Chain A
Amino acid sequence: MSYADRIPAAGVSLPIGALAAGLAAWWALVALLGIPAYLLPTPVAVARRLADRPNLYLRNGTITLRTILAGGAAGVLGGFGAAAVAVHSTVLRRALSPYLVTARVLPKIAVAPLLLVWLGTGAGTALAFVALVAFFPTFVNAAAGLDETPDEYLDLLRSVEAGPVRTFLFVRIPAALPSVFAGLKQSAALAVVGTVVAEWILTDAGLGYLVLLGAENVQTDVVLAAVAVLFAEGMAIYGAVVAVENRVSW
């Protein structure tokens, strides 16, 4: 039994403790080194920013959350759907597989300016961009998972003449769930990043825009306040995906 096991509610208390320690270190650093507030404000100054203008952060936070969720959902559903189609076509799978692997390293964020040219600025373009960014991890992982159903399961289903639809719904999909969720978690993280980038270059609203605005005016406390809200949203979304995984996957 390790020392960590003797701490009450270690799964919650330890991460919260780490967060508190990080904030304390930040505060101490600013105080001890006398860092000017325009370079690095104290955690208290950031919190005060949030408290002073709650509606500003709430409004922009809502816009950002909406883009993450709508764009992310579209990308993830598209990715899973495309994977479901791809595993049923040997030709398609073989033709695409080398590119699918490299799509992981392709800087998809680099296409944002191109979308700007094609679709113009605005919320619609931002959604399309987030969907695109979230699409790939789910697609690649789901396609791999759906394709790697153990042969013995497939033989078993063939032995009772279960058709391809049953096999897909009741064996291929459940067997692929761990892979699918690995993809979903990457997609969730990327949807947050993609939303921030979209707000930098495609729209003029949301937490990402607030970050940009704060930096232009050298208001680091505004930047950090927006980042804090963003962090909370990202954690909540990731946590939700993990919660669903624990319930659904095996």
Chain B
Amino acid sequence: MVGDETGARATEESDRERPEDCEHSERPGHSERPGHSERPGRSGRPEHGETAIRLDGVTVDFEAVRALADVDLRVGEGEFVTVIGPSGCGKTTMLRAVGGLQAPSEGTVRVGGDPPDRARADGEFGFVFQRHALLPWKSALENVVFLRKMAGKPADREQARDLLETVGLAGFEEARPAELSGGMRQRVAIARALHLGASVLLMDEPFGELDELTREEMGVEVRRVWRDQRKTVLFVTHSVPEAVFLADRCVVMSDDPGEIEAVFDVELPRPRDESVYGTAAFQEQVAAVRTALHEGYELR
């Protein structure tokens, strides 16, 4: 339904300035949404003056395979950026490169101006993986506290309890991971990442194993937590609605080799609750992202 996406094909300039909104404010029925000219002052939008994450020409090769090709990206401080693309498009590799778990073959990554290893040593990152990676022999609370201890920081049980409450798990402090549902485990993983006190959350398909309804609920939750905690978030997903709902900006990647296909500014109400899922604006945005995804996709 969305035919003219050329405005969104903005890979090259994504580092200089954000590409203009992919949504077509000239299209009838969308005039109530703020146009892109008002972008800096939108209500509820965090100010991202400082660049928190910066990728310049990042290429990652695995032996003969180029997983990531010449990726440029800027993520502002306090910004919520989602990354979507087909399986194997290098989105996880990009996330790992930002977190210093994967060294780029070419190009540079800077987090708060520092190389990722340095940023990681400074405790700038909180990872949330697709597999929740909760230790099965520890309670929810112990899991939250544990990682902070491993990071060499003094554990703060009171704060850990508060964070579990923040993610909606009051009363489950002593539960073992095996006693929690998939969604609850990911909430613990999020609390654990927050407890690190990191400024940047790197989330790799954290809801990939959850059912759709739980996913949508978790999306609302994550936006709320993000607003409260003022973190910079880079969030990898392969769900289009999730990528749109969560994002201030949504990065669409294509595969073989993995590169940025388009970057969308997401114009949806802030704060967002589950009612957003039903709005025409949301559907519109989802359709636009989906079109860009298909344009970068070749069936093999």
| A201 at the binding interface (Cβ < 8 Å) | no
Contact between B129 and A156, CB atoms less than 8 A apart: yes
A177 to B129, CA, bound (A): 24
Across the interface, which residues of B come within 8 angstroms of A156, CB to CB? 127, 129, 133, 147
| B1 at the binding interface (Cβ < 8 Å) | no
Mind listing 29 A-B residue pairs with CB under 8 Å? A150-B133, A152-B129, A153-B133, A153-B135, A155-B101, A155-B127, A155-B129, A156-B127, A156-B133, A159-B99, A159-B125, A159-B127, A160-B123, A160-B151, A160-B196, A161-B120, A161-B121, A161-B123, A162-B150, A162-B151, A162-B152, A166-B150, A167-B150, A170-B150, A171-B135, A174-B137, A175-B135, A250-B136, A250-B137
Instruction: Count B-side interface residues using an 8 Å CB cutoff.
Output: 20
Query: Which of B120, B135, B137, B146 makes the CB contact (< 8 A) with A159?
Result: B120
Chain A nearest CB from B103 CB (Å) reads 13
Across the interface, which residues of B come within 8 angstroms of A158, CB to CB? 101
Residue interface bits B74-107, CB-to-A below 8 A is 1, else 0? 0000000000000000000000000101000000
Chain B nearest CB from A156 CB (Å) reads 5
Residue of A nearest to B196 (CB): A160
A250 to B179, CA, bound (A): 13
A158 to B120, CA, bound (A): 9
Which of A160, A162, A171, A249 gathers the greatest number of chain B CB atoms within 10 Å?
A160
Which of B120, B129, B150 gathers the greatest number of chain A CB atoms within 10 Å?
B150
Chain B nearest CB from A63 CB (Å) reads 39
Chain A nearest CB from B242 CB (Å) reads 21
| B227 at the binding interface (Cβ < 8 Å) | no
Instruction: Count A-side interface residues using an 8 Å CB cutoff.
Output: 20
Across the interface, which residues of B come within 8 angstroms of A177, CB to CB? 137
Those of A111-164 within 8 Å (CB) of chain B? 150, 152-153, 155-162
Residue of A nearest to B120 (CB): A161
Contact A170/B120 with A155-B101, A250-B136 known, Cβ cut-off 8 Å:
no
In terms of DSSP, what is the predominant structure of the interface of chain B?
loop
Q: Identify 17 new A-B residue pairs, CB closer than 8 A, beyond the known A152-B131, A159-B120, A160-B120.
A: A152-B129, A152-B133, A153-B133, A155-B127, A159-B99, A159-B125, A159-B126, A160-B147, A160-B150, A160-B151, A161-B121, A161-B151, A161-B152, A162-B151, A171-B135, A177-B137, A250-B136
Residue of A nearest to B117 (CB): A161
Across the interface, which residues of A come within 8 angstroms of B196, CB to CB? 160
Those of B127-180 within 8 Å (CB) of chain A? 127, 129, 131, 133, 135-137, 146-147, 150-152
Contact A159/B121 with A166-B150, A170-B146, A174-B135 known, Cβ cut-off 8 Å:
no
**Shortest 5 CB-CB distances between A and B: which pairs?**
A250-B137, A160-B151, A152-B133, A162-B150, A159-B127
Those of A21-65 within 8 Å (CB) of chain B? none
A161 to B124, CA, bound (A): 11
Those of A162-194 within 8 Å (CB) of chain B? 162, 166-167, 170-171, 174-175, 177
Across the interface, which residues of B come within 8 angstroms of A155, CB to CB? 101, 127, 129, 133
A150 to B152, CA, bound (A): 22
Chain B nearest CB from A244 CB (Å) reads 15
Residue of B nearest to A170 (CB): B150
Those of A56-92 within 8 Å (CB) of chain B? none
